[in-house]
Structure 1
Amino acid sequence: MHYRLLVTDIDGTLVDSNQRLPLENLRSIRWLISSGRLFTFATGRTEESALPFARELGINAPAILYNGAKIVDLERGRILFERALPPKAAREALALVKPLSVHVTLYLNGKVYVEKIDDTVKEYMRKDRVSCIEAGDLQDFLGSIRNTGLSPTKLLLIGDDAILSSAQRAVQQHELPVRTVRSEPIYLEILPLGVSKGEALRILCRYLRIPLDQVVAVGNGPNDLEMIETAGLGVAVSNAHPILKQHAGFIAPSSEEAGVSEVISRYFQLASFPA
């Protein structure tokens, strides 16, 4: 198969545990782009958080952001696709998780809002390279913008596994018009209904006029499952969640071992790295 597009997750896939881009990945992706193929990423990150990686790699296709809620041409700052949470559903979700010891971040119009910037939020800001805005009570904040026409892109809950599992059950039991997905062990995402990296990949490929069977997708988390099932070839890195490995067509080396570089070498006929 002649693959034309490579799409990878960022955290736990493209970068290592210290959020560093391995040199092997950088060099092989630049070779891939120079050879006429397309590269981009599909991530839960925001525009601000993803842009440094886009610039370093020189990606040449629009990026899937917010776990599929947006597709953005980062070079031009142009939104190609966007879906938002219904404001009422967002308020109800906030009310359901409020009794739990969980940190909530709210994504709205390209910015990230939190109730208070504490140590947990500071660590999130450091890890994801994103700035946050203190907004006080987030339910009140959503009420204050009710007449602006703005709707949140997603909610991200940060907490331990047991608390996030309780939060996920609470939201699901109330049958809100949202989708919940665990993107990392300490992250629970509340997304617009129907949003996933897989659906965003379908939309992106229609825009690029590339058949899905000419796409390779690489990921590590449960939120990458629809994406690797949608692509012609779905790849899991060896540090991936077990469910992803079960559905992958190939298991690449881990994110610590520059697994993306191995995918390029194996499936895009990279014989050697450029000098």
Structure 2
Amino acid sequence: MAHQRQRDTSSEEELPREPWTVEKDVHLLNNLAAHGGEFQREPWVEKDDAASWTVEKDDVPLVNNIVAHGDPEGSSNSLARSGGHLANVHEGAGMFYQPNFKYIFCDMDGTLLDSSGLVPETNAEAIRVARSRGVQTIIATGKSRPAVIEVLGKVNLAGTGGIVSESSPGVFLQGLLVYGEGGQKLYQQNLDIEVCREALLYSLKHRVALVAFSQDDCYTTLDDHPLVDFFHVMYHEPKQLQPRDYEHDGADTLCGDPDHQGREARAQGQQIPTHQVVEHGVQAQGDVPQALWLGPADPIAKIISDVDHFLSTIDIQKFVFLETPEVISSVLRPHWARRVDGKAQVVQAQGDVLEVVPLGTSKGNGVKILLESLCASPDEVMALGDGENDKEMLQLAGLGVALCNGCEVTKVVADVIGASNDESGVAQAIYKYL
């Protein structure tokens, strides 16, 4: 977007914010109701220039009732019971105003997810409210699609009726995989093969945990490294299981769901009785007892045993090194920034994960590709993020919201600074700016 931005720093002093309340601006409601709707399609509340609310003529009786009683007549969602917060009037609230944005593009780690790696119910409810008002939330993340489906499935936002599935639009792997309506793949960019080779050999030689991403699948060089398991637990990425974890009826190796059928059903708790089983490269069918199922949307990170064969058969979009923040900042990031210079680039969304991606990679580019397929303008977008990988996305959007727990390079380019991910910053931004 070409327009010049000025950072709004005043909000940093005000956090956490309370949603707008009816009591604060009752005179505006009275004025509108008294004129019988003359102000239809005109703003009736303006807050920080970003929130512009409108009311239709047919809604004037509802406005009168709120002013008189603090509750829409016949509504089961009382303003009084919700502390007078207009943001908490869910059912029927869509008639109240025209949203400022048609789309919300939201990062995952450090933004939608709290510090425990889960979605606070407050954020999930805000997304449902946005959807009830005709606003579509689209995930833009460095995660793989299965990881997003898994974590959002925990709050009933995955699969049918959710905001992410294998047939929904989304931006994954830092914008290297972009899916449009119906899950149609719009874009894929792969990492330089020689960069991949050097990284895989480095991981094996120095026993540094590495995970490589190929579309919905993950691969790792080390099958016994504790950080690979931690990567699954904390970031919900595919997990490497050992044979002892799922031996059943002579099956030694479970390949998960290679065709990705049943992943969403598992995320919703449905039983998928038959799985592809692979033993020494030979596929067979086998039933897996429920107690030994993979978790929701939980394929296996496959082991890379032969680097040359692997690279001749698999396209890699990105890989990540897993280490402590101290080792990454002092050793891995400087080393790999030099090694891939001119061929790839390094980026960090989290302190303990160093990503190596193709040159020019950005979520902003992925969001732009998706918006073009939707015939939508960046001006129709509110984007939320926290990491250095979110910078271009926030610059592109009509309103870029950086959470206050984010890095400085992202906060500098944002239009406004929101509450932290542990204060449900996504929910606060939806209620304040939508």
TM-score, with length taken from structure 1: 0.87
Pick from 135, 151, 155: which aligns with 2:303? Answer: 135
Report the Cα distance in structure 2 between the residues aligned to 1:190 and 1:3, rounded to whole angstroms. Answer: 33
Report the Cα distance in structure 1 between the residues aligned to 2:413 and 2:310, rounded to whole angstroms. Answer: 42
Q: Deviations over 1:101-143 (max 9, x none)?
A: 6311111242111122322111111112222335255xx33x1
Compared with structure 1, are the counterparts of its residues 146 and 260 closer, same or farther at alpha carbon in structure 2 (3 Å cutoff)?
closer
Pick from 263, 269, 273: which aligns with 2:429? Answer: 263
Pairing 1:204–2:204 present: no
Q: Deviations over 1:50-109 (max 9, x none)?
A: 113455221175111111111135x95542221111222211334456665631111124
Deviation of the 1:45 alpha carbon: 1.1
Pairing 1:155–2:322 present: no
Equivalent residue for 1:273?
none
Report the Cα distance in structure 2 between the residues aligned to 1:83 and 1:46, rounded to whole angstroms. Answer: 14
Query: Aligned residues: percent identity?
Result: 28
Report the Cα distance in structure 1 between the residues aligned to 2:190 and 2:215, rounded to whole angstroms. Answer: 10
Deviation of the 1:182 alpha carbon: 0.9
Report the Cα distance in structure 2 between the residues aligned to 1:254 and 1:236, rounded to whole angstroms. Answer: 9
Report the Cα distance in structure 2 between the residues aligned to 1:97 and 1:117, rounded to whole angstroms. Answer: 13
Deviation of the 1:183 alpha carbon: 1.3
What amino acid sits opposite 1:21 in the alignment?
A: V
What amino acid sits opposite 1:242 in the alignment?
A: E
Equivalent residue for 2:212?
106
Q: Secondary structure at the match of 1:105?
A: strand
Report the Cα distance in structure 2 between the residues aligned to 1:167 and 1:19, rounded to whole angstroms. Answer: 24
Equivalent residue for 1:68?
175
Report the Cα distance in structure 1 between the residues aligned to 2:201 and 2:327, rounded to whole angstroms. Answer: 15
Contact 1:218/1:228 (CA < 8 Å) preserved in 2?
yes
Compared with structure 1, are the counterparts of its residues 62 and 109 closer, same or farther at alpha carbon in structure 2 (3 Å cutoff)?
closer
Report the Cα distance in structure 2 between the residues aligned to 1:127 and 1:162, rounded to whole angstroms. Answer: 18
Contact 1:103/1:157 (CA < 8 Å) preserved in 2?
yes
Compared with structure 1, are the counterparts of its residues 163 and 97 closer, same or farther at alpha carbon in structure 2 (3 Å cutoff)?
farther
Equivalent residue for 2:310?
145
Pairing 1:59–2:163 present: yes
Compared with structure 1, are the counterparts of its residues 113 and 245 closer, same or farther at alpha carbon in structure 2 (3 Å cutoff)?
same
Q: Deviations over 1:219-262 (max 9, x none)?
A: 11111111111212111112111222222111111111111111
What amino acid sits opposite 1:126 in the alignment?
A: V
Pairing 1:87–2:190 present: no
Residue range with higher mean Cα deviation, 54-63 or 39-48: 54-63
Report the Cα distance in structure 1 between the residues aligned to 2:338 and 2:226, rounded to whole angstroms. Answer: 31
Calculate the aligned-residue CA RMSD, in Å: 2.2
Contact 1:102/1:163 (CA < 8 Å) preserved in 2?
no
Contact 2:169/2:183 (CA < 8 Å) preserved in 1?
no
Equivalent residue for 2:142?
44
Pairing 1:7–2:105 present: yes
Deviation of the 1:187 alpha carbon: 0.7
Gaps of at least 5 residues in structure 1 are 269-275
Compared with structure 1, are the counterparts of its residues 182 and 100 closer, same or farther at alpha carbon in structure 2 (3 Å cutoff)?
farther
Report the Cα distance in structure 1 between the residues aligned to 2:183 and 2:379, rounded to whole angstroms. Answer: 28
Equivalent residue for 1:125?
232
Pairing 1:195–2:361 present: yes
Report the Cα distance in structure 1 between the residues aligned to 2:217 and 2:191, rounded to whole angstroms. Answer: 15
Compared with structure 1, are the counterparts of its residues 229 and 72 closer, same or farther at alpha carbon in structure 2 (3 Å cutoff)?
same
Compared with structure 1, are the counterparts of its residues 212 and 29 closer, same or farther at alpha carbon in structure 2 (3 Å cutoff)?
same
Q: Secondary structure at the match of 1:12?
A: helix
What amino acid sits opposite 1:79 in the alignment?
A: K
Contact 1:97/1:167 (CA < 8 Å) preserved in 2?
no
